[in-house]
Chain A
Amino acid sequence: MSKDRVRVVVTGLGATTPLGGDVASTWSALLEGRSGIRTLTEDWVDTVPVKFAGVAAVDPGEVLPRPEARRLDRAEQFALIAARQAWQDAGAPEVDGDRLGVVVGSGIGGIGTILSAYDLYREKGWNRLSPFTVPMLMPNGSAGWISIELGAKAGAHATVSACATGAESIGYGIDMIRSGRADMVVAGGTEAAIHGLNVASFAAARAMSTRNDEPERASRPFDKGRDGFVLGEGAGIVVLESEEHALARGARIYAVAAGAGYTSDAYHITGLDPDGKGGTEAMLRALKNADLAPSDVVHVNAHATSTPLGDEIEARAIKDAIGDHAIVTATKSMTGHLLGGAGGIESIFTILALHERIVPAIANLDDPADGIEVDLVRGEPRKLEGDQLAAINNSFGFGGHNVAVAFTTV
């Protein structure tokens, strides 16, 4: 680590996921290998070929007061809940608002609001729309609400890079602190896209699993029988902080947010470049940004969405960037794919793996695909040995976005 550079640490974690309404319940479910995927009961299910998803374990309407919930899109509800948890977890410090930033994005934004407001507008007219329709549908709405909640005035940003959004947000947050714009940044991603149109659209792209008879077995990254991703919803948000600021207030430090690397495939709007170089280079850039060597990395939380092409390309990219020594997990096997929220929750899982020194196993990995030359965690969670450990969270998105975030033990 360069001596002249600010070290950024993680001091708070918050999440609401298909496995639990907070970080603790989600993490214990992951270690137990539980699935958050279930059959859907909505009316529109009959009209789409995919009839299951990872619905949030705790409905945000049960957590938020009604007057607040009705002004928020579901994605914003998840984000605000996760941000509040993360801030509490960081000790809810009294801080200078001018030095506090927010970076929380969403892959799609308030799609539920867009669709329901359009129906309402067509049926009853413009003057029946909520005056909060615009802030509910805009993808920067979560960042705005969180900034109001916390009095964060150093800038509220919303990165948008499809399924890489959450990881990109955390990378942006690290940069905000390093560049001197903020002492603390609340960063992560959120998504609420379990709606007929989204499912139909992803199914039209032939990207989703249709294992309707076994929803819990449908998300199976790296397994021979995988047939597409499984949609999930929720949010994962972390509190990033300069180490100096964290130490000065005696904060509990989970891990060091050591650096991030970005590339764009410039190849295909939805498919990964088959040579995997975009992913490889993103990981290498993250390591360079973090002053780490490939040999330092003991663990990778793979993007691994359970699509036939993507998982194998990523496995090759990991081998090319890091080698075959790192322990690789794929937590989407249990949470499903939270799209813009994925990089948020999976960064949290990476941080907890380092902090607790244990890596959750990949669920449904009965028969690993041929030619995968990385160390996949099968069966039981795997312990991490050693003092100074580094890990990487990969997140890749439609549009060709590749993001890798590197974390280390304190």
Chain B
Amino acid sequence: MALTEQEILAGLGKIINEITGISADEVTPEKSFVDDLDIDSLSMVEIAVAAQDEFGVEIPDDQLKNLKTVKDVISFIQA
């Protein structure tokens, strides 16, 4: 059973809050990790590692750098 966008968003919000302290409410699909959420590249690695555990999806480094927005990650996990 694939997860819905809302379920993935909620899970990502929790992960991003845990790692960066940013409120989960601020994690919305259109947000850019770098420009809007001020998340640096090492934090993105932490988020990717946590997302792998949470959603069971491997995010290779060469793919990670293409995931610019929250929506990009959701789409990657759903694909």
Binding site for B on A (CB under 8 A): 65-68, 70, 127-132
Q: Does B53 contact A (CB under 8 A)?
A: yes
A66 to B53, CA, bound (A): 19
Q: Contacts A128-B52, A128-B53: A67 and B18 contacting too (C-beta < 8 A)?
A: yes
In the bound complex, CA of A68 to CA of B49 (Å): 17
Chain B contacts of A70 at CB under 8 A?
18-19
Interface string of B7-28 (1 = CB under 8 A from A): 0000000000011110000000
For A132, give the chain B residue with the smallest CB separation: B42
B49 touches A66 (CB 8 A): no
Q: Could you list 25 A-B pairs, sorted by A, with CB under 8 Å?
A: A65-B21, A66-B18, A66-B21, A67-B18, A67-B19, A67-B20, A67-B21, A68-B21, A70-B18, A70-B19, A127-B49, A127-B52, A127-B58, A128-B49, A128-B52, A128-B53, A129-B49, A130-B46, A130-B49, A131-B42, A131-B45, A131-B46, A131-B49, A132-B42, A132-B46
How far is B49's CA from A65's CA once the two chains are assembled, in angstroms?
Answer: 20
Q: How many A-B residue pairs have CB under 8 A?
A: 25
Give, as a whole number of angstroms, the nearest-CB distance from B75 to chain A.
21
* Closest Cβ neighbor of B49 among chain A residues: A128
B22 to chain A, nearest CB (A): 8
**How long is the Cα–Cα vector from A129 to B50 in the complex, in angstroms?**
10
Residues of chain B at the chain A interface (Cβ within 8 Å): 18-21, 42, 45-46, 49, 52-53, 58
Q: Nearest chain A CB to B61's CB is how many angstroms away?
A: 8
Q: How far is the CA of A67 from the CA of B42 in the complex (A)?
A: 13
Point out the residues of chain B lying under 8 angstroms from A66, CB to CB: 18, 21
Which of A65, A127, A128, A129 counts the most B-chain CB atoms under 10 A from its CB?
A127
Tell me the minimal C-beta distance from B38 to chain A in angstroms.
12
A301 to B16 CA separation, bound complex (whole angstroms): 47
| Most B-side CB within 10 Å, residue of A67, A68, A129 | A67
Nearest A residue (CB) for B20: A67
Task: State the Cβ distance, B76 to closest chain A Cβ, in Å.
Answer: 16
Given A65-B21, A128-B49, A130-B49, 16 more A-B residue pairs with CB atoms under 8 Å apart are: A66-B18, A67-B19, A67-B20, A67-B21, A70-B18, A70-B19, A127-B49, A127-B52, A127-B58, A128-B52, A128-B53, A129-B49, A131-B42, A131-B45, A131-B46, A131-B49
